[in-house]
Amino acid sequence: MRTRDMDVQYIKGVGEKRAVLLRKLGINSVWDAVHYYPRAYLDFSVCTPIASLQPGDTACVRGVVGCPVSGGMIRQGMSIYKTVVTDGSDVMHLTIFNNKFLAQRLREGETYLFYGKVTRQYGAWEMTNPLVEDPDGNVPFHPVYPLTAGLSARQLSQIIHQALLLWSRDETGDLIPADIRRQYQLSHALFALKNIHEPATMHDMEVARRRLIFEELFVLQCGMALLRRHNRTKTRIRVQTGSVRDFLTRLPFELTGAQKRAIDDCLRDFQTGDSMNRLVQGDVGSGKTVVAAAALWAMAKSGYQGAMMAPTEILAKQHAQTLQTLFGDALQVTLLTGGLTAKQKRIAKQHIADGTAQIVVGTHALLTEDVQFHALGLVVTDEQHRFGVRQRSTLGEKGDTPHVLVMSATPIPRTLSLIIYGDLDVSVIDELPKGRQKISTYAVDSSFHPRVYAFVRKLLDAGRQAYIVCPAVEETETDLLSAVSYAKELSEREFSAYRVGLLHGKMKPKEKQQVMADFAAGEIQLLVATTVIEVGIDVPNAVLMVVENAERFGLSQLHQLRGRVGRGSEKSYCILISDAQGETAAQRLEALCKTNDGFQIADADLRLRGPGDFFGARQHGLPQLQIADLLQDMETLQQARAASQQVIADDPRLQKEIHKDLKDAVVRLFQKNGAAALN
């Protein structure tokens, strides 16, 4: 076993009990320990004279302990120790709580470095619970790590120091090839790991940090390149694309140029002999479903089955209805969701297995082991950001190297799409179908409620419908409006003369389906809901979206909600209500009011909120970044991508001995997110 894989409990000073605490931080091995990076540093290199301190400063003071430490236990579970420190310019009082070890360490007449926040009490300087170091220590910059209860900063630093000693002794290689390091002027791995944890100067830390940021993005991009090449496997599925002309002539509307290009991309992929792995990325209402329908038509007419997976039952049912309308009697569309009766599921699964079901639309129910396809040729996943890499591949494994088409209505900035969709070819639908009107968007505070209600009533009286979205389902201790209580209040007061409905995620599937059916049929005029309506609801008669506590939503999510209206020929509106006072909240809502372009909104969201909304393992199954910051490190991302392409072109599967450590790092990074595909 290599040192890097040694269990953390065998590092000097750890043991079984402390290993349990380290595992809570994700530190399971020597590798994990040396790659557990600090989030900040305390600077012991610059000392401030006591006389020059200012109240509230966080500073390092070099001083002599002026008297023996006094104090002890004042009650069970509480100890307090006191002494004074002088540096010749003034005197500072020290107070130490619950740290007998530190109190015993301080010796009268000895010099130490004290780091902490200073206050001024009754004319005297005070520092409470300082960090204390010897003045001749060789680590002037102390790392600050995320901790867990029961594990102190000093203990964790000592553990990582011991891990570094093991690493330096046995792991002398470097996963970034020497020519890449020279090309991008990167330090060696050993220098980087040593100086990210125990830097001698801030310059050394910055050199180390740049190297490790590059390494993290480089390993990630190599992994995505391996996935991309893995996905480009040969397939025996041959598609006759000529039949698509028949499908297009059936459409009662004209396709946009972007839709035509996306369809052509899919048809070309079908002819290459490799399995297609394509993302169709388009704004809300851009017509992605028609692109998928054309691909499904070509597949079914070639004798294969197509499967479309949606994240919610509402969206799956809507897709099934849309596809059956587009295909008419020419193709058989079968729906499979968890909300079906046992008999309906049994019949659907039988039709899927014997090939009667040419097109299958469903939710995660499609992933269960008892769903067997007769001849699966194409897998389509909708709202791709809600599925992980593993779920995408699980459905694909039900066929013999089927083609894969994924769709997303969540615009992703180009820089992030390099990571999130790095294993896919991309078609962008950047045009809206004819007849789609701009949705007028306004941001107001809660004092406008009477005017908003009057506007809602005006639209309802004209025969239109509206949504009101709340951030919470039920009452909480916060001031957030809840859908349940708000719907009750509106139906009894402001909208007692209208039919008000309620929809939220805690309702039973059949209840949700019924509410949506009633709203689509016009039997509900005003629908109060949570973000369960974010995707998969298409009611052309709904022309107004009101969002309460709008500051609680991401910009892209608000854009998705806004996309629930404006789906018909009537003028539509979106009103964002927020009392938030922060400048960032105002900028975000202002950005939404200025444009209906989802990609511009995504860029604004990235600038204002950071990449968290776009980039998280929970959403798409890819690893979290530990040290890279996609807002600050865009240039490094581009460099790392270029370097990864350079390496993969030379060694497509990273099988050369020189790339052994790189391959190990790639698999390690992806091991919880479908790493088998990388072996």
Has residue 392 got a pLDDT over 60?
no
Distance (Å, whole) CA 505 – CA 406: 25
Output the pLDDT for position 675: 44
pLDDT bucket at 510, cuts 50 / 70 / 90 = confident
DSSP conformational letter for 523: S
Above pLDDT 90, what percent of the chain? 55
- What is the DSSP secondary-structure string of 29-42? BHHHHHT---SEEE
To the nearest whole number, what is the mean pLDDT of the chain? 87
Has residue 348 got a pLDDT over 90?
yes
- Output the CA–CA distances (angstroms, integers) from residue 223 to 404, 576, 648, 664, in the order listed: 19, 41, 10, 11
pLDDT bucket at 291, cuts 50 / 70 / 90 = very high
With tokens 């049912």, the residue in question is: 317
Q: In sequence order, which ranges of 251-287 are alpha helices (DSSP H)?
A: 257-270
416, two tokens: 């992030």
Output the pLDDT for position 388: 52
Output the pLDDT for position 554: 80
CB-based burial of residue 330 (10 Å sphere; 0-12 exposed, 13-18 middle, 19+ buried)? middle
- What is the DSSP secondary-structure string of 164-203? HHHHHHH----SS-HHHHHHHT---HHHHHHHHHS-SSHH
**72 or 420, which is more confident?**
72
The architecture that CATH gives domain 1-41+143-172 is Orthogonal Bundle (1.10)
Single pTM value for the model: 0.65
**Torsion over CA: 315, 317, 321, 326 (sign):** positive
Please name every residue paired with 298 in a beta bridge, in sequence order, or none if there are none.
Answer: none
Has residue 555 got a pLDDT over 60?
yes
The model's pLDDT over 99-111, given as tens digits with 9 standing for 90+, comes to 888 999 999 999 9
Output the pLDDT for position 84: 96
Has residue 527 got a pLDDT over 90?
yes
Mean pLDDT, range 372-398, rounded to an integer: 72
Asked if 240 and 302 count as a contact pair (C-beta separation under 8 A), the reply is yes
**Choice among 129-138, 332-341, 670-679 with the minimum mean pLDDT:** 670-679
- What is the DSSP secondary-structure string of 400-424? SS-EEEEEE-S---HHHHHHHTTTS
Has residue 612 got a pLDDT over 60?
no
Output the pLDDT for position 54: 94
pLDDT bucket at 113, cuts 50 / 70 / 90 = very high
User: How is the chain split into domains, by residue range?
Assistant: 1-41+143-172, 45-138, 241-272+287-408, 440-595
Has residue 211 got a pLDDT over 90?
yes
Output the pLDDT for position 584: 76
584, two tokens: 């960032």
The architecture that CATH gives domain 45-138 is Beta Barrel (2.40)
The architecture that CATH gives domain 440-595 is 3-Layer(aba) Sandwich (3.40)
**Choice among 42-46, 558-562, 609-613 with the minimum mean pLDDT:** 609-613
Output the pLDDT for position 225: 83
Amino acid at 123: G
**576 or 436, which is more confident?**
576
**Torsion over CA: 508, 394, 662, 221 (sign):** negative
With H, G, I as helix, E, B as strand and everything else as coil, classify residue 124.
strand
238, two tokens: 């041959």
Mean pLDDT, range 660-678, rounded to an integer: 74
With tokens 């020497």, the residue in question is: 178
The model's pLDDT over 62-71, given as tens digits with 9 standing for 90+, comes to 999 999 999 8
Contacts of 132 (CB under 8 A, 6+ apart): 102, 105, 106, 112, 113, 114, 115
Q: From its phi and psi, is residue 88 left (phi > 0), alpha (psi between -120 and 50) or beta?
A: left
The model's pLDDT over 7-17, given as tens digits with 9 standing for 90+, comes to 999 999 999 99
pLDDT bucket at 434, cuts 50 / 70 / 90 = confident
Output the pLDDT for position 31: 94
Mean pLDDT, range 184-204, rounded to an integer: 95
Output the pLDDT for position 435: 67
Distance (Å, whole) CA 347 – CA 447: 55
Has residue 631 got a pLDDT over 70?
no
Has residue 219 got a pLDDT over 50?
yes
Distance (Å, whole) CA 613 – CA 629: 14
Output the pLDDT for position 299: 96
**Choice among 84-88, 186-190, 222-226, 443-447 with the minimum mean pLDDT:** 222-226
Please name every residue paired with 468 in a beta bridge, in sequence order, or none if there are none.
Answer: 528, 546
- Residue whose C-alpha is closest to residue 326's, from 272, 355, 287: 287
**Choice among 330-339, 479-488, 647-656 with the minimum mean pLDDT:** 479-488
Same fold across 1-41+143-172 and 45-138:
no
**Choice among 90-99, 137-146, 213-222, 427-436 with the minimum mean pLDDT:** 427-436
Has residue 548 got a pLDDT over 50?
yes
Give Cα 409 to chain centroid, integer Å.
15
Output the pLDDT for position 617: 37
**511 or 214, which is more confident?**
214
**Choice among 163-172, 279-288, 344-353 with the minimum mean pLDDT:** 279-288
Most confident stretch, 115-124, 420-429, 450-459: 450-459
Angle ∠(438,444,448) on CA atoms, nearest 5: 115
Asked if 166 and 11 count as a contact pair (C-beta separation under 8 A), the reply is yes
Residues in the chain: 679
Output the pLDDT for position 622: 56
**Torsion over CA: 525, 528, 529, 534 (sign):** positive
Please name every residue paired with 92 in a beta bridge, in sequence order, or none if there are none.
Answer: 85, 125
Output the pLDDT for position 497: 94
The CATH homologous superfamily of the domain defined by 241-272+287-408:
P-loop containing nucleotide triphosphate hydrolases (3.40.50.300)
**Choice among 44-48, 279-283, 311-315, 500-504 with the minimum mean pLDDT:** 311-315
Above pLDDT 70, what percent of the chain? 89
Q: What are phi and psi of 53, to 5 degrees?
A: -70, 155
**Choice among 89-93, 357-361, 600-604 with the minimum mean pLDDT:** 600-604
Has residue 676 got a pLDDT over 50?
no
Asked if 517 and 503 count as a contact pair (C-beta separation under 8 A), the reply is no
Amino acid at 390: R
Mean pLDDT, range 526-530, rounded to an integer: 93
Which segments of 522-626 are extended strands (E)?
A: 526-529, 542-547, 573-577
Output the pLDDT for position 76: 81
Distance (Å, whole) CA 202 – CA 659: 31
Most confident stretch, 108-122, 356-370, 585-599: 108-122
Asked if 39 and 17 count as a contact pair (C-beta separation under 8 A), the reply is no
